A and B are shown apart, each in its own frame.
Chain A
């Protein structure tokens, strides 16, 4: 047991230093070259609707998707929503089962918290004046995933184009219902 003590000490000290040296990545608050592309993917212009009606329609969509509204500020066009869901994934479980056959325990992803913020703002014309009943809406989504050991395994922004397309398709339908007062 004593022979292992130095190794443990080194590991413990290394952990202390790792904690102390953690600094923010250089580019964390720098506009990335992809930021324009992401903005386009996450934004739509919607005509013929007031900002408030658009927010109401958007709130309806996030409810359809099982999110709960955490915060909202209509005066700034903001809705914040989240949901907790299972993060079990078949491929990962298959891998863990295979590992278990050889007596190796592998934790797998178990739960995830998905958060989304939806922001509307009036669309502007070339003179910078708002265009009547024309809004821009942008949604950004992120998630944290925990495994069966309750350790965080993923902490990320969701950037799959299909997810955003699907959201906006649902939003168009919700707007239709909103405008028709159904």
Chain B
């Protein structure tokens, strides 16, 4: 019975520790540095055609079973959601890089967490490369 009491106490402490940080901290929270994130979330492609790149991003997202949420040519953004027993939400931005390239950046969340593992982004850029018929260049 004393052990039970201790377990309950420990649980209570966990609750309190969790409770110390306000949940609004999530607004500006990042798991990795901006440089680290960008290293796997963005790639450059050798085309200056932003519209064509955005249209290819949209069809790649559809190939990956996403439904588009929003698209904006002037801003160069596309957001989409995939539902497959889980939820993945993704935003992709396309902007000119110099005069001969575009920079494509993707960020995604899985359920209620940011995806900060490079692998899913690599997979996305592999699919996008195929659809673009162009190589995705790593940018630093």
Residues of chain A at the chain B interface (Cβ within 8 Å): 2-3, 5-6, 9, 12-13, 16, 22-32, 35, 38-39, 42, 70-71, 73, 75-78, 80, 115-117, 119, 121, 138, 140-144, 155-157
Contacts and interface: CB of A to CB of B under 8 A. Distances in A.
Contacts of B69: 70-71, 80, 117
Interface string B67-79: 1111111000010
Counting chain B CB atoms within 10 Å of each CB, the highest count among A13, A30, A77 belongs to: A30
Given A71-B70, A76-B55, 12 more contacts: A6-B7, A28-B110, A29-B121, A39-B63, A76-B58, A76-B73, A76-B78, A78-B71, A117-B80, A121-B55, A143-B83, A156-B84
Interface residues of B, number: 49
Counting chain A CB atoms within 10 Å of each CB, the highest count among B54, B67, B70, B115 belongs to: B67
Contacts of A76: 51, 54-55, 58, 71-73, 78
Contact of B58 (A25, A70, A78, A157): A78
B113 interface: yes
